[in-house]
Amino acid sequence: MGFWAALQFLTIFPTPLPHKVDDKPAGESLTYFPLVGLILGAILFGLQYVLKFIFPPMVTNALIIAALVILTGAHHLDGLIDTCDGVFAGKTIKRRLAIMADTRVGTFGIAGAILVTLLKYASLSAVPMLPALLLMPTLSRWGMVIAIFTFPYARASGMGSAFKQGATWQRLAIATAIALVAAVTLLSWKGIVLLITVCACALSSAVYFNHRLRGLTGDTYGAVNELTEVSVLLLLTIFWRL
């Protein structure tokens, strides 16, 4: 149930679960967030392997980024947009949360989405595709689990509250083990360095959102994912340059 719930929440893939699941599968799904990320990464790598025979590298990278947005239903990107609008435009916590709940998109949200997409695109041109495409979605979804576990939920209710209620040490430990195995398998000891640095990046963004909102929301979980994806690619770029 937990795996299918994670697949349903994080992707557009069909699952045997009903459209709306209760709090228990939502909490159990945290264990499998990095695993779903690894599945997404494998799909992206397979797609990149095919596309590179058809298109030049720049076009292939753009299509890979577009595919990730489509496969995830743009949920995380939408969370980033709402978070940027609320966190940067609102003057009070109440106003920030209200802006994030608004369906309209503001300047800060558009700017945030464009900058994140540009950084992903540029970074993909500077790193080997296998570790980049596998670890980017895997470690970013692990970063979400860390943020969910560490910080309080900002709203009285909401879809994200079910994840917060189910965030236990055991589920965090299993999710961390999955992320660790993936990183070490692909990068050897450098994978441990990457994992520690990615954890710091995910926590840093979550600390800032928590400071501005006195807690996190479903939107900020998506924002943490997007920012951590960029962090993974930028860190891999540094590793390869060194």
Give me the mean pLDDT over the 40-45 stretch.
97
Residue 158 pLDDT greater than 80, yes or no: no
- Percent of all residues in the chain with a pLDDT value above 90, rounded to a whole number: 82
**Would the pLDDT of 159 be above 80?**
no
- Mean pLDDT score, 3-20: 85
Q: Each residue of 62-75: pLDDT tens digit?
A: 999 999 999 999 99
Q: Residue 23: its pLDDT value, please?
A: 63
Mean pLDDT, all residues of the chain: 93
pLDDT at 22: 58
Mean pLDDT of 230-241: 94
The secondary structure element, H or E, covering residue 207 is helix 189-213
Residue 32's pLDDT is 96
Tell whether the model's pLDDT for residue 19 goes beyond 90.
no
Residue 3 confidence (pLDDT): 92
For residue 153, list its beta bridge partners: 216
The pLDDT value recorded for residue 15 is 84
> How far apart are the C-alpha atoms of 177 and 165, rounded to whole Å?
21
Q: Residues 164-191: what's their mean pLDDT?
A: 95
Is a pLDDT exceeding 80 seen at residue 51?
Answer: yes
pLDDT tens digits, 73-127: 999 999 999 999 999 988 999 999 999 998 889 999 999 999 999 999 999 999 9
Which residues contact residue 104 at a Cβ distance below 8 angstroms, ignoring those fewer than 6 apart?
none
Per-residue pLDDT at 156 exceeds 80: no
Q: b/e per residue, 126-152, with b = 16+ CB within 10 A? A: ebebebbbbbbbbbbbbbbbbbbbebe
Confidence at residue 226, expressed as pLDDT on a 0 to 100 scale = 97
> Tokens representing 218?
């479903």
State the pLDDT at residue 160. Answer: 75
**What is the pTM (predicted TM-score) of this model?**
0.94
Mean per-residue pLDDT for 4-16? Answer: 91
Rounded CA-CA distance 149/173 in Å is 11
The Cα–Cα gap between 154 and 66 comes to 31
